[in-house]
Chain A
Amino acid sequence: MSGLAIKNVTKRFGDFTAVDAINLSVPHGTFVCLLGPSGCGKTTLLRMIAGLEEPTSGAIMLDDQDITSLPTHKRNLGMVFQSLALFPHLSVGDNIAYALRIRGASREEQTRRVDELLKMVHLPGFADRPVAKLSGGQRQRVAIARALALSPKLFLLDEPLSALDAKLREAMQVELRQLQQQLGITTIVVTHDQREAMTMADLVVVMGNGKIRQAAAPIEIYRKPADAFVADFIGSTNLLDVTADSAGRATILGHAVPGLSLPAGTSKASVSIRPEDVHIAAPGGGAISGTVTFVRDLGGTIETFVEAGGSTIVAVATPRERPEVVAGQTVGVVLPPESCVVLAA
């Protein structure tokens, strides 16, 4: 298979298992986001792919070739570090040309390629500037250009956008995705920002405690989270207990939810429902009744916090469907069964 395959890779640091028997295959040209909270092993996994750490066990294959113990400098990959790691003693052009210089490329070829790369990252004519004189976003682009200088097989980025301010970060996410599609390069990005992952990735790999919790397309991860950890980490969600009543029907907070069924043989599970799927209605009927505790009006969205049976349910509405509620009011909460994802307890 062409592409990257990670086979049963484990990494231990002393007693601590950073990466625990991970299997993952990444087809050629895929944009992968390794997503997870800090300390989940995502950076360690990336560093093993780069050859900067050696796996305790397992194998890493690139285009059917075992690269597990191949030294970094022979792997033909480009990497952008969290600190960017631009060489402070070299100019922008010399930073980008470094890999070419090591390969013994001629002066003319270096200049030509540097100009080409600078154009690609929208920094034409920056070759002679010292690195210290660049802004955060410009450094970012230089780091990307440097990593892509040799048209590597693998493009690895370790939290590349974390140092930028929110606006620039969002713009760079789009740009990075467009660049990746244009080049068709297999790309792996480590991030803890789920918005970043949703924006850029073909495949989102959610990690927790050194294990893969779910690997799927972004929208599938969002719509069908595999477990409570994933549901909670990707976007915000309402996690509620669901139990079977005497008649075997699934009930949430004492209300039977028709159309929802528990996994066979269990009487208790939890359910995840996204705030935008929760509707606020008049009390009574089939709705769960609760008390509004707080309304957060953010202009673009309105979040309503409802206290019901000891749980807080958050509902998000757009201004168009603005629920006319105030704190203290008793309301009905409707949980459409098709939007509820039952998670194994």
Chain B
Amino acid sequence: MRREVPKSLSDYTPLFFPAIMLIVFFVVPFSTMIAVSFFKRDPAGFYTTDFVWDNYARFLSTFFASVLGFSLMLAIVVAVCCILIAFPFTYLLVKRPRRVQTIWLVCLLSVLSLSEVIIGFAWSTLFSRTAGITNLLVAVGLMSEPQALLPGFGAVLTGMVYQALPYTILVLYPALVRFDPTLLEAARTLGASPVRAFLNVVVPALRNTIVATLIMVFVFALGSYLLPQILGRPQHWTLSVLITDQAIYQSNMPFAAAMAVFLVLISLSLVGLTLLVGRRENAG
């Protein structure tokens, strides 16, 4: 289909609304943040208009680099865990009768109605020594005495995976519902065992969906700052926690802005890299 070139200004009217929304809710706040990141901090008050690289320079220390590294690693691990759990789960779910699917999806949606705070405190109870799940293990004789499973990396990971899993399933569900099951049957008639057919056919045929979901969960997990504080030790705190700390408790808006800009740039480049690799493999 040949695309018609817009001729008059009125041809652009459909673009006005999205353009305004984009400017008001993205361009203006983001520009403000970039601007603030170059301002000079005023310890007595707030900040003064300036153009200095101090905030970025301060960021280039081993402490902040390791926090950034941990944040990215945590987000990637959460995304991978979510896909590893959600993909087979959704795959099996779409094979169930319609009614069963509806019940599962309603339950998953109800998990979304829980706030991050509630999820955090619920898991902190479940992982506690006095009232946690280890008591159940003791009761059935698998453990000798109850243990506290938090604070720790495992607890943070569990909480974040729990929070992101419903989103992952809801994003994967439409693609898997549309997936043609005869592709799988074809693989089986060609001699592939069910597991092999799943790995050779379902996973590659839905690779774009999987990559898109990975990116979504990654970005979602990158912004998490409550669960690491509730379920983790200070070394499990993400960059988002530090940004909050700088912006709200230290009143160091310029430094918080600089960290935020840095985080955005790093995650954007990671997402871009993923897409680039995906495209190259698609072509090859």
Contact = CB atoms under 8 A, between A and B. Distances in A.
A252 interface: no
Interface string A108-129: 0000000000000000000000
B129 interface: no
A78 interface: yes
Interface of A: 50-52, 71-79, 81-83, 85-89, 98-99, 102-103, 146-147, 149-150, 156
A83 B187 contact: no
Contacts of A72: 185, 188-189
Nearest to B205: A89
A52 B187 CA distance: 11
Nearest to A143: B186
B196 A52 contact: no
Interface string B179-217: 010110111111111101100110011010000000000
Interface residues of B, number: 20
B188 A85 contact: no
Contact of B190 (A52, A71, A99): A99
Given A73-B190, A75-B189, A147-B189, 10 more contacts: A50-B185, A71-B188, A71-B193, A79-B185, A79-B186, A81-B186, A83-B180, A98-B192, A102-B191, A149-B190
A72 B200 CA distance: 16
Contacts of B194: 73
14 contacts: A50-B185, A52-B185, A71-B193, A76-B191, A78-B189, A79-B185, A81-B182, A83-B180, A85-B183, A87-B183, A87-B187, A88-B205, A102-B190, A147-B189
A141 B204 CA distance: 23
A87 B201 contact: yes
A77 B187 contact: no
Contacts of B207: 89
B203 to A, nearest CB: 10
Given A85-B182, A89-B204, A103 B191 contact: yes
Interface of B is mostly: helix
Contacts of A85: 180, 182-183, 185-186
A149 B187 CA distance: 13
Contacts of A86: 186
B188 A73 contact: yes
A81 B184 CA distance: 11
A79 B201 CA distance: 16
The list of the 10 closest CB pairs from A to B, nearest first, reads: A85-B186, A99-B190, A79-B189, A85-B182, A72-B188, A89-B204, A81-B182, A102-B191, A73-B191, A73-B188
Contacts of B180: 83, 85
Contacts of A71: 188, 193
Contacts of B205: 87-89
A309 B117 CA distance: 86
B204 to A, nearest CB: 5
A77 B185 CA distance: 12
Contacts of B188: 51-52, 71-73
Contact of A73 (B183, B192, B201, B204): B192
B198 to A, nearest CB: 12
Contacts of A149: 190
A50 B189 CA distance: 7
Nearest to B196: A102
Contacts of A79: 185-186, 189
Contacts of B187: 87, 98
Contact of A102 (B186, B192, B204): B192
